Amino acid sequence: MKPLSTVLGNELSGNGVGAHVHADRYGKDLIHLKKIIKELYRGSQFEPSLVAPGGFFNQQWFTKLLQVSGSNVLDAISHHIYNLGAGSDPKLVTKILDPNHLNKVANTFINLARTVQTHGPWSSAWVGESGGAYNSGGPHVSDTFVNSFWYLDQLGMASKYHTKVYCRQTLIGGNYGLLNATTYVPNPDYYRQEIDISSSLLVCHFGFTLLRFCLKYSALLWHRLMGKVVLAVGSDASPFLRSYAHCSKGRIGVTLLVINLSDQTKFITDVQNSMNNNIKLATEQLNISRKSFSRSLKNIASGAEIKASSDEYSYREEYHLTPKNGYLQTRTMVLNGIPLELTSTGNIPRLDPIRVNVKSPVSITPLSIAFIVFPDFVAPACR
C-alpha cells in the first residue's frame, strides 16, 4: 500500500508565507488527522481539539477548507494577525495611535465570522497568533505602554466579532514578549489578562516552546473585569475615543473599556442605558495643554476626583492606565497614579480601582486607557 502523504504546517493558507498548500488538499489532510486523533483517544474522556490552519485569512481559501473538511472535523478555525506591519517600521507608533489604521482589521474579523457561520457553524473563530508587528515586534514599542492601545483595542474588536480565543505572541521572546526576556519582569501589556475559559474571549500567549500561557497586566484587568456577554456601544465621540463594553465578570453590572488615542483631547462622557442591551456614550471634547494633562494625572493619583459612599451602588469603579511620566514608550504602566511594579517578594501588585460618584461624568485624559465598572447598570443581557 502506498504511504499516505499528509501536509500540515504553519501559515500555509492562501498564498502562504514562504510556501502554501491548496485548501482542498489541506482539508483532506485534516480529515485524515481527525481520524488519527479519534483512534488514539478511543475510549478516553479527553480528546484534543483540532485547530487549524494557523495562517493569514483568505476568505476563498478558508471557505474551501471548511467545505472540504466537512462538519465536526475542525473544532476551531484559526488565523494570524499582524496588522501593524513590520516591527522595523519607523511609523509603528503612528499606526498604533491612528484609529483609521486600527479599523482596517475589522473586515478580517467580520468576514471570518461570516465564513464560519455560513460554512462551518460547528466550529469557532480563533486568533491563533498575533503580536501587532511581525518579525519579533518593534524595539522600544511592542514592549512598552504604547502597545497597550493596539492590544486592548484588538481584544475588544475580537470579542465584538465573535472570536473565542486570542493567542498573543509571545510570553517570552522578541520585542513583543509579555515578560522581559532577561529579568522576567512584566512588560506593560502583561497587566491586561490571564487565562479564564469562562470569559467571552480566552486570551493566550505563546512562548518559544509554543506552550500557551495566559498572563499580563492590561490583559490581567481584561480577565478580571470583562465578562462573557458583549454589549453594543453607541457613541457620538471622535474616532480617537475607542469603546467596548461587556457584562461585568462575576458580578452584576457592566464594564466599559475606553481608549483615548488623542494626545490633546480630554473626553468627558455621560454613559447612558439605551435600548436592546446597548450602551450610549454622550461625549464632550476638551482640548487641553500638556500642563493640564499632567495636573489631571496628579488628580487621579491623589484621589481628588473621588466621591466615596457607603452605598454600594452609588459609585462606580475606575481603573485609569497611563504611561509613567507621560512617556508613551516607557515600560512602566501607571494605574490610578500608582506605578505597577513587582512587590519586594516578586508578586504582582494590587490592582485597585478608585471609586467615583456614579452620577458624575467619566473623564478620560489624553493618551490613556480606562476600565469603568458600573455595579448598578441594568442590561437585560447581563441578568
**What is the full DSSP assignment across 161-212?**
TTEEEEEEE-SBSSTT-SB-TTT-PBPTTEEEE---TTSSSEEEEE-TT--E
Alpha-carbon gap, residue 320 to 171, rounded angstroms = 24
The burial class, CB within 10 Å (0-12 / 13-18 / 19+), for 338 is: middle
DSSP strand pairing (368-374 vs 315-323): antiparallel
Catalytic residue annotation? 11, 129
What type of residue is 291?
K
The answer to whether residues 146 and 187 touch, using CB atoms and an 8 Å cutoff, is no
Sheet-wide strand order for 202-206? 51-56, 76-81, 125-130, 163-169, 202-206, 212-213
Which pairs count as long-range contacts for 259-264, CB under 8 Å and 24+ apart, including other chains? 259/149, 259/152, 259/153, 259/156, 259/369, 260/364, 260/365, 260/366, 260/367, 260/368, 260/369, 261/97, 261/98, 261/99, 261/149, 261/367, 262/238, 262/366, 262/367, 263/97, 263/366, 263/367, 264/288, 264/366
| Residue 66 to residue 231: CA distance in whole angstroms | 29
Tell me the backbone φ, ψ of residue 176, rounded to 5 degrees. -95, 15
